[in-house]
Every structure is written in structure tokens, then in C-alpha cells.
Structure 1
């Protein structure tokens, strides 16, 4: 047995089904070991796409996704997707090859200090330099990546180490590390603080979905009547049909949800990370009373200074809070829910402007509650976050930690492999072409999901900010190929929609067992200087 064989045995023991990546000369032993295993190696078209696939797999399943790249440019190409997983709290294990140890002390072809390059981007990071440490290294990479709060880890395997003989057996995974129960004193303080509030509000963050606390949150809301607003990554923690849901922090015409947040005098933050939504937007100056419930203490930030920090498993904390609170706050902001939800579920007039906002009710109507929408980053993401009703946790995948463009197509592929439910990808023309080559990977794997590409020929969020600041924009315009012909060249069924009627027809015509693309031609953006 070689180290490469043992590494792959460890991957099998961890339950890994797919390793996404690109081959390299330094990976030869690992690749042939994978070929002889139950783990499927998926050659992608770019390492960034591989990292995004591992990222979304980890986010949807809670089990670390795995990406693989060679040394030098292979490793550096992984970095964006790995960093995205780290800030989005998605479990991911990155494995990179490296040259033989005999040349690592000096300048040599493609040799970079990859371990130090990854150091600020991951939770844990190591070079596998001792064959005897193989099983410990792989087990630690997965344990650290998956333990709350999850994130990315990295292991580098020099090619001479990969080929060395070794004996060993994978270390057993005895299940997730138990999360702490609520501290009685902190719990009593949280109950006292909440019961003293007139208009308390739950803020559901990424952690409310990530830790599978949605069921406990829904029971808590039933018991207390407390309304809920979510971050973009907390969508679906409570069903947006529920009259206590305000969707996200800035949902609704003229942000009806934001108005409710302003009126709230106490915020119960469940699994909230400030990287996913800056608290200065909803709590400037840190004036609101905040009860923080999470596995880790709150970040030190002037706009987020909790009165109480309840460091515990969110489900256990919500269950104890529900049992301990006697007060009821039924429907203090039902008017805001009605405004937000009616806008999100309106029926657009066929003659309305072709905008992302006007297409979303059509898309939502065509999708089952359990279907998954994977959003890229761009102006369309803001509309989806604010206006796309989500009814189940984890059914709307939005990156809002690193918020990197290009995640949607590889993310849709990963979602399709990981889940039985139908998958829809929503992307702008900017983000789409960053990793559009992964359509070939998807067709090769026989994936079936729908890609909706909003075409306006500009980097819209940047353009809007420039317009607001300077009255004009610069450096934001670009041209596109024929996106329908482009998709068809991969064997993908594609169509173009230039009206809401055409979009509705295209959505209705898509087959759930086929890979398809709908190009949506948005109404002309304002004239902007190139």
C-alpha cells in the first residue's frame, strides 16, 4: 500500500462520493488510487469550478466536499472557491499535489509555498510529509472542516510522499462533535431580556439553516408568536408563507421588512455571522438589545454588541427558550408580512418590463417547495434574496460571505449530484461566463438542471453604485456571445426569452430530466459610459 492508496481509503471511510478537480503530473498516484476505489473523480474544466462544487456540496449536505488540484497554478486556482467556503461556513477539504521534497528547499518549476498561501484562508492546513501521519492528517482535515462552525481545510501531498509504502487503517469517524447545551444562567438572562421586550424579532442567520435548527425555530415561533427576518443565507429557516416571516432584512417595497426591524426593540439572533450581512445596516450604533445564540461568541463590532450571549447548539437553545418563555407577541408586524409576501408572489402583467424581479414570481410558481435555487452573485442575487419566497431550509443557496461571482453553474452541478430534488441555477451574464465551461462537465455527468441567465451586458451592482456616487459609470460594460448557440454547442437545450410571456413558456417547457438553459434578455439598462 502507498500513501496515495491510504489517503483514498481514508476518503472512502469518510463517505466521500465525489472528488472534483483537475489532474496533474504530481497527482498520478492519487488519481490511479481513486480510479481503483468507490470514489468518483470528476475532472472539471477549471480548479475554481471544482472548489465551488465541493463548496456547495458541503453546504447542502453538511459533509465536507472534496476538491483536488496539482501544485502551482492548480493550487492557486482553487483559492477563490476555498475562501468562499471558509466565509460561507461550508465544510470543504482541499487536497493539492506538490513536487518532491528534494526540491522544495529551492526555487523550482511551478513550486510555490502553497501551505503558507492557504494559511489565512482555511481553518486548518498541513503538508503530509510523514507517511505514518496519513490517517491522522486526513481524519483531522474532515473533522475540523465539518465541526461547527464549519469551513475549509487543506492538505498538501508531495509526489514522493504519495508513492511511499505505508501500513495503516483509516481512523474511525465516531460522528459529529456534540454541541454544548445552554448554560442555565445565560438562558435565564436571555429569557428575562426577551420577556422585557415589547416588539422582539428573530434574526435567522446562516447557522439557523446550517445546524438544522429550522424545525426548532418554527416550533419556537409557534410558541411565542415572535416574527422572523432572515439574512440572505438564512432564507427558508422559516417558511415565507408563515405570517410571522418577513423574508430577508431588506425585503418588500421600500423595505417593509427593514421598517419592521427598525421598530423592533430586541433582536434574538440565531446562527448569525456578521460576514453574511453587516449589522450596521440594521443596528447602526449597536442601539438594539441583542440576544446572540450561536456556537461561538459574537464578533467584536460596535454595531453588534449583544446583551446576552447564549453559546449553545441553536436547536437546544431554541427548545429551552420556548419552554421557558411565557409571553406572546402574536402578529405585531403582520402588516409588514402581507406587504412583503404579496409583492413577492404577485402575478406580473405580461407587458411588464423584463426584469429579474418580474421573472421571480413566474419561476417560483413553477418550482416545488423542495426544489433548489442556486444563485450566482450580482444584481440578480439581491432580487432573489429579497423577493424569492423560500419555504424550506437550504432550498435557496446564496453566497454572501465572500460573495464570489462564478459559483452558480458549478454549484448547480454539485446540487444536482447531491440531491434528488430539481435544481435551478440563476446567474447573470457576468458570472455565467466565468465558469460556463462547467456545462461540459455537467453534460458529461448526465446532470439535469436548468440554468437561467439574465443578460444585460454589464456588471450591474458596480454600475449602480457608481451611478449613485458619480452620476455615471465606467468599466462595467461588456459584450456577450450568442448564449443560446453557446449552450447548444455543449448539447444543452437552450432558448431565449425577450418577454415575460416567453420566459413563462420557456420555464414551462423545461424538462426536469434534462440540462437546459434559458437566456433572459433584460430591458435595456440606463445608458452608461463604457
Structure 2
């Protein structure tokens, strides 16, 4: 057995189903070993896409996804997706082929020191420099990636080590991760502070979804009658239909929920990742914070932590729920905020303006998709509208990358989501700018026979950047580009193409796409003049 074969046996021991990636000269030993295993290698059209797929697989499957690239440009391409998973706290193990040890001391074709390059974008990484350490390196990579907070790890495998014979080495057994809870004294102090608060508010982050703490969260807010608002990546932890759900926060500037933050005398953050939503945007009055998470809070001037309640989030929420007496609070304002936010979407249900307004696109999409279907937003102006107005019933049914927030994430992520949940409809919501960055993965979807739906909002430019330019300078620059004939492009890949030419066509097109059970591409012109109207509206909100 050589090291590559041992490496693959270690992957099998970790329960790896798929490896996403692009083949290269320096990883052919590994690819050959995978060919003799039960692991399926998913050939992607770009290394960044491979990492996007692995990250989304990890987020939905609850175990590290795996991606592979060769050295040099393959590894640098992969890095964007690895960094995206790491900052989004998705579990991922990246593997790179590498030049042999005999040429790493000098300038050499395609050689870069990948350990140092990947160090800032991973939780841990290592190069296998000795055949016998392979099981330890692989085990640690999966262990660290899957520990809270989830993230990315990286293994660098030189080509000469990969082909080296190895004896008397076997994969290490996996182990159960420990569950830790906050001490009783911390729980009692936090409970006392919560009971004393007159206007507490909960900010729900990605950690609740990661740890499947939605049931414990629901029991807690119902008993305490505390309203909860979601970050972009916490969406669905509390159903939007729950009367205590204040929907989603994250747009800079005033929004309806700003009034809730301003009026709070205590804010509880649960599974909150600060990279998503800077505290200066929502805690301007420096209200005290109870930080309920797996790790201590990042230091921030607008994040004054009164208590860190650290450990397993479901277990600590359960402890708090049991310790605290039921409360009755004045939460009439919650109904008012919910009504305004929900009516904003409802008033566009029958809008006939064309090109189609963002609110109308989201309204039609929400009406067509089932509660457990998955909508994945790419990055761009459409992301801000999806985050604010696409209301989720369940966790991980509206996926938004909001850590690194890399463009191009939606189509690869939709492929991975459909692999994890083939029974659900999966829609990639893209802008025309973000789609072109990874659009070649349409071929991957066809090759894998995955009936995903791509809903492209077309405005022939980088709409989010234009939005910022107009806010700051009252003019835009360098954001327009041309587009291909998307009907021909989609059809050439094997997707069923649909082009929206009037507003009343969109909802029937979505319904047809869902019913067809085949890959569908919908080209939908969007009217982004609504962006500045939203900016003006947010500026006029008065608590």
C-alpha cells in the first residue's frame, strides 16, 4: 500500500462520500486510489467551485466536506472557496497536491509554500512529510474542521510522499466530540439577569443552525416571551410565522428591527458570528449582552458582554429554560414591527411593473417553494433583498454566505445541496455578475443528473456596487457589462431555458420549473431602481 491508498482509507474511515475537485499531475496517485474506493470523485469545472460545493455539503450534512486541487494555480483557485467556508463556519477539509520534497527548497515550477498561504484561511493545516504520519494528519484535519466553531482545514500532500510505500499503518478511529455546558453559577446569574430585564431581545446567529438548537430556542423564547431576530445565516431558526419572530436583520442603517435593538435593555446573542453583522450597526447604545455560544465573544467596543454562557448551545438553552420562571412582557411592539415588515412583501404580490421588482420576484418564489425547499442566494444586490424579505420556515432552507461572502457561490452550492437533499427543490438565486463566475458548473449539474433551478436576476451590471456608489456619490461608474444569450447558453449545457418577458410569467415559470424535475434556467430581468427607494425608506423609519 502506498501513502495515497492509505490516505483514501483514512477518508473512508471518516465517512467521506464525495471529494469535489479538479485533477492534476501532482494528485494522480490520490485520484487512482479514490477510483478503487467507494468514495465518489466529483469533477468540477473550477477549483473554487469545488470548495464551494464541499462547504455547502459540510453545512447541510453536518460533517466536513472534502475538496481537492493540485499545486500552484489549482491550490490558489481553491483557496477562495476554502476561505469562504472558514469564515462561514462550514466544516471542510481541503487537500492539495504538492511538489516533491526534493524541489521545495528552491524556485520550482508551480511551487508555492501552501502551508503558509493557507494558514490565515484555515483553522489548522499541515503537510505530510512522512508516510507514517498520514493517519494522524487526516484524523486531526477532520477533528478540527468538525469542532465548534466549524471551519476549514488543509492537508498538503507532496507527490513523492503520495507514491511512497507504507507498512503497518492503519486509519485512526473517529471519536465522539465532547459536549460541555456552562456552570450552574453562570446559568443562575444569567437567568437572574434575564428575569430582571424588561425589554430583552434575542439575536439568533448561524450557531443555532449548526448545532440544531432550534427546538431548544423555541422552548426558551415561548416560556420567556422574548422576541428573536435572525442574522442572515441564522434564518429559519425560528419560523417566520411565529409571533415572536422579528425576521431578519443585517442591512446597514435603520430598519424596522432597529427600533427593537434601540429599545432593548438586554440583548442575548445565541450562536452569533460577529463577522456577519458588526455590533456597531445594531448596539449603538451599548446595551449589556449575554453571549450564548461555543466560544468566548470577540472583543468589540459595541459588544459589552455581561456573561459568557459557553458550551453546547442546545444544552445551555435547556438549562436556562429550566432555571427561569415564565414571564409576561409588554411585547405589543413586536406585532407592529412584524406587520410592517410582512406587509412590505405582501404589497408587491400583484405588482405588474416590468422589469420585475425584487420584492415581486421574492414574493413569487416564496409562494411557489415548499417550507423545506432550499433557496440559495449568491452575493450581490439580490442577496440583500433575499436576506431581508425571503422568510424561512426552517433552518438551512435559505442559505446565504455572509462571512467571506464570495460571489459565485450559489450554483455550486445548489449542486451540493441537491446531493444532500435530493427530495427537495433547490433554487440558486444569482445575479448575472455572480452567475458568470461559476456558471460553467451547469455542466456539472447535468453530468450528475441534478435537477436544480437557477433563477438569475439580470440587470447587466454589478448592482450592489452601483447601489453603494449611488448612496455615496449620487452616480455610478464601471459597473456595466454585456451578457450572452442565456437561452442559448443554458440550452447548450442541457438546462431547460426560460426567459421572462412580462411580470405575470414569473410565477407560472417557477411553478413549471418545480414540476418538471429537470435542470431549469430562468432569465429574469430585475428593476434595481428599488435599491435606492429602499435606502430612502430605511432612512425615514422612526421608532
Q: Give the match for residue 468 of structure 2.
A: 465
1:252 and 1:343 in contact (8 A); partners too:
no
Q: Deviations over 1:16-69 (max 9, x none)?
A: 111000000111110010011000011110000001000111111111010000
- Are the aligned partners of 1:251 and 1:258 in contact in 2 as well (CA < 8 Å)? no
TM-superposed deviation, 1:445: 0.5
Partner of 1:126: 126
SS in 2 for 1:436: helix
Equivalent residues of 2:467, 2:531 under 8 A apart: no
Distance 1:69 1:432 in 2: 22
> Which residue in the other structure is 2:319 paired with?
320
Residue 512 of structure 1: how far off its partner (Å): 5.2
TM-score for both structures, normalised by structure 2: 0.94
Structure 2 residue 292 is matched with structure 1 residue 293: yes
Name structure 2 gaps, 5 residues minimum: 533-543
Distance 2:504 2:194 in 1: 48
**Which portions of structure 1, spanning 4 or more consecutive aligned residues, are displaced by more than 4 angstroms?**
250-254, 524-528
Kept in 2: contact 1:291–1:310 (CA 8 A): yes
Counterpart-to-counterpart distance in 2, 1:467 and 1:347: 24
Q: 1:328 to 1:179 in 2, by over 3 A?
A: farther
Instruction: Report if the CA contact (8 A) 1:54-1:65 is conserved.
Output: yes
| 1:341-490 equivalences in 2 (<5 Å) | 341-346=342-347, 348-353=349-354, 354-419=356-421, 420-490=423-493
Equivalence for 2:190:
190
Matches within 5 A, 1:52-71: 52-71=52-71
The offset of 1:252, in angstroms, is 13
Distance 2:346 2:391 in 1: 8
Equivalent residue of 2:450, what SS? coil
Structure 2 CA distance for aligned equivalents of residues 442 and 348 of structure 1: 32
User: Residues of 2 paired with 1:37 and 1:231: CA distance?
Assistant: 40
Distance, in Å, in 2 between the alignment partners of 1:97 and 1:251 is 41
Q: C-alpha offsets along residues 457-482 of structure 1, whole Å, 9 cap, x if unaligned?
A: 11111111111111111111111111
Name the structure 2 match of 1:340.
341
Match of 2:517 in 1: 513
Q: Tell me how far 1:435 sits from its aligned partner.
A: 0.1
- Give the corresponding residue for 1:501: 504
Counterpart secondary structure, 2:338? helix
Query: Is the Cα–Cα contact under 8 Å of residues 251 and 384 in structure 2 kept in the other structure?
Result: no
**Paired residues for 1:141-220 under 5 Å:** 141-167=141-167, 168-175=169-176, 177-220=177-220
**Matching of residues 229-244 of structure 1 within 5 Å:** 229-244=229-244
Structure 1 residue ranges without an equivalent (≥5): none
> Is the 1:257–1:340 Cα contact (8 Å) retained in structure 2?
no
The residue that corresponds to 1:329 in the other structure is 329
1:197 Cα offset (Å): 1.0
SS of match in other structure, 1:300: coil
- CA deviation string 1:271-305 (max 9, x = no partner): 001101111110125x1121100010000000111
The alignment status of 1:85 with 2:85, answered yes or no, reads yes
Change (3 A) 1:102 1:495: same
Structure 1 residues 28 and 251: alpha-carbon distance in aligned structure 2, compared to 1, 3 A threshold = closer
CA contact 2:351–2:360 (8 Å) conserved in 1: no
| C-alpha distance in structure 2 between counterparts of 1:494 and 1:47, whole Å | 26
Q: Distance in 1 between matches of 2:319 and 2:85?
A: 31
Aligned pairs for 1:220-231 (under 5 A) are 220-231=220-231
Aligned CA distance change for structure 1 residues 345 and 183 (closer, same or farther; 3 Å): farther
1:152-179 C-alpha deviation (Å, 9 max, x unpaired): 000000011001111322111123x123
Count of aligned pairs between the two proteins? 526
Deviation at 1:253, TM superposition (A): 13
TM-score (norm. length: structure 1): 0.96
Structure-2 separation of matches of 1:254 and 1:301 = 21
d(CA) in 1 for partners of 2:35 and 2:127? 23
DSSP 3-state at the match of 1:137: helix
Superposed displacement of residue 421, structure 1: 1.7
Kindly indicate whether the alpha-carbon contact (under 8 Å) linking 1:94 and 1:154 is maintained by their aligned counterparts in 2.
yes
Encode CA deviations 1:364-407: one digit per residue, 9 max, x unaligned.
11111111111101110011111001000111110000011000
Q: SS at 2:269's partner residue?
A: strand
Residue 30 of structure 1 corresponds to 30
**Bigger Cα displacement from structure 2, 340-349 vs 410-419:** 340-349
Cα offsets for 1:211-261 (capped at 9, x unmatched)? 111111011122111111000000000000001001112589972222222
Q: Which residue in the other structure is 1:74 paired with?
A: 74
Q: 2:106 aligns to what SS in structure 1?
A: coil
RMSD after superposition? 1.8
Distance of 1:162 and 1:185 partners within structure 2: 52
Between the aligned partners of 2:250 and 2:208, the Cα distance in structure 1 is 19
Give me the whole-angstrom Cα distance separating, in 2, the residues matched to 1:500 and 1:480.
Answer: 21
Q: Is the 8 A contact 1:352 1:358 kept in 2?
A: no
Cα pair 1:53 1:413 within 8 Å, conserved = yes
For 1:337, what is the secondary structure of its paired residue?
helix
- Separation in 1, partners of 2:528, 2:215: 43
Preserved contact between residue 228 and residue 245 of structure 1 (Cα < 8 Å) = yes
The offset of 1:485, in angstroms, is 1.4
The Cα of 1:483 is off from its aligned counterpart by 1.3
1:251-262, aligned counterparts within 5 Å? 255-262=255-262
